[in-house]
Structure 1
Amino acid sequence: MKNRLLIILFGLLFCIPNVNAQNDNLEPVESIFDDYDFQFEYYSLIRKVLMNGMSDYPEVRFLIIPSFSVEEVVAIEKENEKYFIVHHKMSKSIWYTDKNKEKIKVKKKKVEISESDMKLYKELFKKAITHRKYPDKEIMGLDGVNYYFSVADRPLKTGTVWSPKSGSKMDRLKEVGYSLISLANDTKEDEKVELKTELIERIKKLTTEIK
């Protein structure tokens, strides 16, 4: 009974107000005053546990909240005039852990990235967030992933998308977000990230297409 209730509540977490949109854009993020109490408590734990030690004002941030697996986040942050990809991933789901949520271990990785490569991501995220739109038609869904994209743009601005349609611009944006995680995981901590030409061109192409 308890597990069934958790699933129902988690479905509400994603269905209200985060839903699958007909338009191929990020959606605005609602105010904390529009959240249910359980949503506010959960998001507070995301910030306190998953994002512990991360900058409150990153250049870009990509937050992943799935329905049934662990939460993770990746960001590009500035530190001592250098830029770093910072990746945090929960070892267990915050939502489905019953007790001692704040003691769940977080897997962390940090690698350096060049300023020019950082700017590629920042320009894309800024473009996508600038063109946020509410959906023309809302479709409810329980099993999927909610993605949050943030960019430092005086102040930090955020847009979200729920399990975008395969091949859509928002699906490609999601894949660019995941590329930051791959770069962090595939690069040794004493080395600097190197973007392949294919990824650079993919980011540039998507940046021009979003509108």
Structure 2
Amino acid sequence: MSTIVAGHFQLQDEIDHARRELVRAGFSEDRISAFFLNQPGQHDQTPIGGDNMQSPGAKETPEGVLQGAATGGALGVAVGAATAFVTGPAGPIVGGLVGAHVGSLFSLSKMKDAGEKEEGSNANRYEPRQSGMLIAVAADQPDQEARAIDVLRGLGSHHIERAKGTIEGGDWTDFDPLSLPVLVQ
């Protein structure tokens, strides 16, 4: 496993130029990998597509809906029972059903807005990788790492990150698009 230094660019021409400059700086062509990185959420990591089986912001939805329905149902039954002399024996039943429905809808209104942070989530501590072209080079020695960073920085890379991994035959074999990037300062 090597230290991988990766730089983000927007255009294929920039990647081609970066590859030539890395080779000129002494890196072997088969230790350089370049590819397009999809947008967050579109990495096809699950059998149904996407990155997660469940939306990270929706993990508390079933419990919230049940709590809202139970609370609303209990209040509806109480109101229906209190008005049973007017509504008859169906009052508590109808009140419970209506209350459960309204309660479940109210709980949906309490859900997080898009982009709102979740407490305790690693996804909120770091920015995910943005889509675009990525070029990565394996650096086995500390001087190679510094040289790769200098080349990518000099070419105007948008973000430069450091990772551990394996590049063989021009392919970053163990790249994980969902891993948290460690940006180089």
- TM-score computed with the length of structure 2 as normaliser: 0.24
Name which structure has the greater RCO, CA cutoff 8 Å, separation 6+: 2
Quick check: which one's helix share is greater? Answer: 2
Task: Give 1 or 2: higher strand fraction.
Answer: 1
Larger radius of gyration: 2
